[in-house]
Amino acid sequence: MSAWFLTLVADPARFPLAPALVARVRDALAAGPPDWLAAEEAADLPLADAPDPARVRAALDSAPVDALAVPAAGRRKRLLVADMDSTIVTGETLDELADFAGLKDRIAAITARSMNGEIDFATALRERVALLRGLPISALGATWDRMRLTPGAAELVATMRAAGAVTALVSGGFTWFTERVAAQVGFDHHRANVLEHDGSALRGTVAEPILDRDAKLAALHGFCRALGVGPEAAAAVGDGANDLAMLGAAGLGVAFRAKPVVAAAARARVDHAGLRAVLFAQGFRAEEIRGG
């Protein structure tokens, strides 16, 4: 029986996963026969030991295919903890909100530095929110209208819930948005920062304490305790430096189209496919995936 799986995942609309490429990776790793989870999209390669990342990269030869190595034991997770901005939704809600104040470039630059781990998240958040003082709260609704779900987000949540997992949206963004995203996608729980306003305009402040890197990790552990499981039974997905701690603690921590510092540190990463890849990494087959 296999101790590990290497799951190869591609975006079939851009680069269908070809049997010849899968065979090449199999030969390079001396893996067992491939098990196709989804035609032209995902295949498992069974292995006796964890694969050598250098051999995997060499065999893929720069093909736009994600390769996720996962232990066979406890492969399907009981908990999903997901970041929101640039993970479940495609954009950064604070940056888009800043666009209505004519400050998008200025605030986006601070966001980028924070997500790369160059500056403290809480400090960066307070600094960015302060710049929005006086912005009408109608800008929140206008920003929401711009938000788009990442491909596979609804399927990820619906499928894990159907399999009995608890799902939580834990964001360094704002509850005004996580409440709506959670309702649209179907998350069981959501947590984020509270953006303060006076009923008509933003105050330029965020309620304390800030939901930061440590708070995300604490949330993951808290949900695990409530379920009576260890963090190895959790899947976590995110893209920024404030996600690193929870990604490292989870049994399956996936850096999704992540910032360089996060991609370099993560044990599993998805650079090309959508969020369905997090399901394939758990061994879900195409026919098991719910439509969201």
52 is catalytic: no
For the record, the structure tokens of 292 come out as 């969201």
Please tell me the distance from the alpha carbon of residue 223 to that of residue 239, in angstroms, as a whole number. 20
For the record, the structure tokens of 56 come out as 């995997």
Active-site residue among 83, 212, 239, 243? 83
Q: Which residues pair with 168 in a beta bridge?
A: 81, 189
Cβ neighbours of residue 267 closer than 8 Å, sequence gap 6 or more: 69, 247, 248, 253
Active-site residue among 66, 85, 95, 243? 85
11 is catalytic: no
Please tell me the distance from the alpha carbon of residue 269 to that of residue 126, in angstroms, as a whole number. 29
Q: Which residues pair with 269 in a beta bridge?
A: 255
Q: What is the 3-state secondary structure (H, E, C) of the chain?
A: CCCEEEEEECCCCCCCCCHHHHHHHHHHHCCCCCEEEECCCEEEEEECCCCCHHHHHHHHCCCCCEEEEEECCCCCCCEEEECCECCCECCCHHHHHHHCCCCHHHHHHHHHHHHCCCCCHHHHHHHHHHCCCCCECHHHHHHHHHCCECCCHHHHHHHHHHCCCEEEEEEEEEHHHHHHHHHHHCCCEEEEECEEECCCEEEEEECCCCCCHHHHHHHHHHHHHHHCCCHHHEEEEECCHHHHHHHHHCCEEEEECCCHHHHHHCCEEECCCCCHHHHHCCCCCHHHCCCC
Q: Which residues are catalytic?
A: 83, 85
